Amino acid sequence: MMTGQLTIRPVHPDDAADLYAVVSHPAVAINLVQLPSMEFSETQKWAEEPKPGQHRLVAEVNGRVIGSINVTQMQNPRLAHAGKIGLMVHPDFWGQGVGSALMTAVLNLADNWLNLLRMELEVYTHNASAIHLYEKYGFVAEGVKRKAVFGDGRYFDCLVMARLRHADWFAAQAITPPPTRPLKKQAPVHAIIRTPRFPDDMNDVYQTFRLPEVGRTTLQLPSQEIGKTRDRLKEAAPGIYRYVAEVDGRVVGMASLHQKQNPRERHVASLGMMVHPDYWGQGIGSQLLDALTKLADNWLQLTRLELEVNTDNLAGVRLYEKFGYEIEGTHKLHAYGDGRMADSYFMGRVRE
């Protein structure tokens, strides 16, 4: 039973020992994405070095930190209206209002200081008490990511939840996006599918990235400069696997897998893809997806592939369904661009 006054305050580097006692507790760790072998130095580094956009609070009683919560504001400018929550409380203090106090504080920060419109989180489907807490604060289920995390000898499904502000206003102001060029059924074009070459492919990739029609579904901006493409192509970060599609010496599409680097999520990779509008409807996306799917299944031994796609991108949805992806849920007010706030499906392909 908690005795003493509960204080909610920003995290301090001196909190590392207490925070490690919480995160390393078996009853807590199984509901997070850490490993039982997590060392104190990891928590120490977390306490000392906040990530960009991260706002962190702790719950303290009698000089002891017994829980923490953080909201990380998305750093992509088109997602900056959204933040993601992470929460943990020491089991000795479960059911005593600590989680509620932390949630109240972080939502006050999100609503009244950061002006976030979308708050989201993921919670394992078996964690009924946490789900009940989030529902109390207005979070609703958007869908379930199957086999999202591995731990304790089994796969866990993740319930995706979100809390929205001003959703009705955005619905009333909904703007029909500008029309794309007509998608004509054309004969398939055979592309050479290969890995990207730097700097040879840089200009072709850049000219595709900056098109508004491509940016609409890839979270890019038409204002981005070629330096961003240069940095992206020059060297792939760990866990990124990429192919480009070349037609008549021109790169007309690119697709990538981003394998998650957390050991409990390394069976998962997210998919990103773009094709130049001049080549829509000619099978380029299918050829890129076929190559990446074979890489994922036959070489990387991935269990789960996932992606996000605008709900109004019907051609994209049909393409992904052809390769075994299923709609698992819908992110409301997900991304802003082209003059409107778009909803997105999150889709998953799971190998049994």
Residue pLDDT tens, the chain, 352 long: 677 899 999 999 999 999 999 999 999 999 999 999 999 999 999 999 999 999 999 999 999 999 999 999 999 999 999 999 999 999 999 999 999 999 999 999 999 999 999 999 999 999 999 999 999 999 999 999 999 999 999 999 999 999 999 888 877 776 666 666 656 667 789 999 999 999 999 999 999 999 988 988 889 999 989 999 999 999 889 999 999 999 999 999 999 999 999 999 999 999 999 999 999 999 999 999 999 999 999 999 999 999 999 998 999 999 999 999 999 999 999 999 988 899 999 999 999 8
The SS3 assignment for 233 reads helix
Pairing of strands 64-73, 54-61: antiparallel
**pLDDT number for residue 340:** 86
What does residue 190 show for φ and ψ, rounded to 5 degrees? -80, 125
**pLDDT number for residue 176:** 67
Q: Are 127 and 237 contained in the same domain?
A: no
290/349 Cα distance (integer angstroms): 13
Is residue 176, in this structure, part of any structural domain at all? no
Domain extent, residue 297, equals 192-350
Whole-model pTM: value is 0.93
Place of tokens 């070095």: 49
Structure tokens at 239: 């866990």
Q: Are 220 and 316 contained in the same domain?
A: yes
Structure tokens at 278: 């001049």
311/340 Cα distance (integer angstroms): 13
Residues, the chain: 352
Is residue 245, in this structure, part of any structural domain at all? yes
Q: Are 206 and 122 contained in the same domain?
A: no
Is residue 210, in this structure, part of any structural domain at all? yes
Q: Are 92 and 210 contained in the same domain?
A: no
DSSP class per residue in 54-73: EEEEEEEETTEEEEEEEEEE
Q: Are 98 and 204 contained in the same domain?
A: no
Q: Are 95 and 215 contained in the same domain?
A: no
3-state secondary structure 195-222: CCCCCCCHHHHHHHHCCHHHHHHHCCCC
Q: Are 148 and 251 contained in the same domain?
A: no
Is residue 185, in this structure, part of any structural domain at all? no
Is residue 161 within 8 A of residue 122, CB to CB? The reply is: yes
Q: Are 160 and 201 contained in the same domain?
A: no
145/74 Cα distance (integer angstroms): 20
Which CATH number fits the domain that encloses residue 72? 3.40.630.30
Is residue 297, in this structure, part of any structural domain at all? yes
**pLDDT number for residue 185:** 64
Is residue 175, in this structure, part of any structural domain at all? no
Give me the residues paired with residue 246 across strands.
Answer: 192, 251
Is residue 187, in this structure, part of any structural domain at all? no
Q: Are 261 and 199 contained in the same domain?
A: yes
